[in-house]
């Protein structure tokens, strides 16, 4: 840009900032309910709404309540929800076999939401950590996560979720080759129209703690996940991961976590131009809510500014626990 263009006083940058209407007219980035994917936690029971202590305002819901929340989301213009189960510890084992139960929490919730909201986009994670007694995303043997054995289970899990009515499988496990394997399994089972949104760049982050509490995997986790989730030091590696997943058949890609990784979102969007999403994860939500509830940050402005940053960085949408509240704020405005 020529630095001599628009010299003061002929050019005054504040002219286009002077009123709300003119600011809206010249805004480069726009945020709306259509940009949100709302994560919901599920727990066995009826008429159940159980607060998650580390995530103020977030609850574990019984299946009937999840269906009700999906209707509310649809009324607000939110196009998608993501379902995460808190599995009864008695149903967990070393291989996460409950993930292959056609009547597990996710499958029941998927059917309920599909009945309540036929057009709602439903994301279901392909991962074993909510179902394993060791808290890892894959099969654990002698202290190691077995890649190929895990992928075989993920294929079956993804087909089961599709049969329950899930239209968008979201593999979050970070096993090598799982996208191609899941795509082939879905196609072979007649689910060619079921989409895959891959957690293509998922980092071994410290920001997942509240989520693990919410799904009940925190206490069970043995060791950490750094042998399969990405090193926070790396950016070029993220591009390689995204390239591989797109080549294997991913329709959309996800960067996780969100705000500390906006540089990754930007690089991914610029490099590939594919539908790119970011997960505004539980630790980020908990930090903001802590400051908001202490009166240190303005609630509405903080929520909207945070989510707008994702769009400005290049994300096509955001998976966020603020989805419903943000949609309500935007609707009022």
CA–CA dist 219, 228 (Å, integer): 20
CB 110 within 8 A of CB 103: no
Q: Read out DSSP for 119-183? A: T-EEEEEE-STTTBTT--SSEEETTEEEHHHHHHHHHHHHHHHHHHT--EEEE-S--TTHHHHHH
> Is 225 among the catalytic positions?
no
| Catalytic pick among 202, 225, 269, 311 | 202
Residue 90 has what DSSP assignment?
G
| Catalytic pick among 92, 155, 225, 256 | 256
Q: What sign results for the dihedral spanned by CA atoms 56, 62, 67, 71?
A: negative
Quick one: tokens of 160?
A: 């089961």
Strand pairing report for 317-320 and 276-280 = parallel
Query: Which residue's structure tokens are 């209407």?
Result: 21
CB 71 within 8 A of CB 116: yes
CA–CA dist 207, 280 (Å, integer): 10
CA–CA dist 123, 168 (Å, integer): 5
> Is 202 among the catalytic positions?
yes
CA–CA dist 182, 175 (Å, integer): 11
Q: Of 39, 41, 37, which is closest to residue 51 (Cα–Cα)?
A: 41
CA–CA dist 277, 39 (Å, integer): 14
Q: Which residues are annotated as catalytic? A: 202, 256
């Amino acid at each position: 840009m020529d630095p001599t263009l628009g010299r003061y006083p002929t050019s005054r940058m504040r002219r286009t900032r002077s009123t709300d209407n003119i600011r809206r007219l010249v805004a480069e980035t726009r945020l709306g309910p259509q940009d949100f994917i709302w994560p919901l936690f599920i727990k066995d029971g009826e008429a159940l709404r159980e607060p998650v202590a580390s995530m103020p305002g977030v609850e574990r819901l019984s299946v009937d309540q999840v269906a009700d929340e999906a209707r509310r989301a649809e009324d607000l213009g939110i196009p998608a929800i993501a379902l995460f189960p808190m599995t009864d510890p008695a149903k967990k084992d070393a291989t996460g076999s409950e993930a292959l139960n056609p009547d597990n929490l996710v499958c029941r919730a998927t059917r309920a939401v599909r009945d309540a909201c036929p057009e709602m986009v439903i994301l279901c994670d392909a991962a074993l950590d909510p179902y394993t007694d060791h808290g890892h995303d894959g099969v654990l043997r002698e202290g190691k996560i077995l890649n190929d054995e895990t992928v075989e289970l993920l294929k079956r899990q993804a087909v089961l979720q599709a049969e329950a009515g899930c239209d968008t499988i979201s593999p979050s496990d970070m096993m090598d080759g799982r996208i191609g394997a899941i795509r082939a399994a879905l196609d072979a089972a007649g689910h060619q129209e079921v989409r895959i949104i891959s957690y293509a760049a998922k980092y071994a982050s410290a920001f997942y703690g509240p989520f693990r509490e919410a799904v009940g995997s925190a206490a069970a986790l043995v060791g950490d996940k750094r042998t399969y989730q990405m090193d926070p030091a790396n950016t070029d590696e993220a591009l390689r991961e995204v390239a591989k997943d797109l080549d294997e058949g991913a329709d959309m890609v996800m960067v996780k976590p969100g705000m500390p990784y906006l540089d990754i979102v930007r690089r991914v969007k610029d490099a590939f131009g594919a539908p790119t999403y970011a997960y505004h994860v539980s630790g980020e939500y908990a930090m903001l809510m802590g400051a908001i509830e202490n009166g240190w940050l303005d609630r509405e402005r903080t929520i909207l500014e945070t989510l707008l940053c994702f769009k400005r960085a290049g994300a096509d949408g955001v998976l966020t626990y603020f989805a419903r509240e943000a949609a309500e704020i935007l609707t009022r405005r």
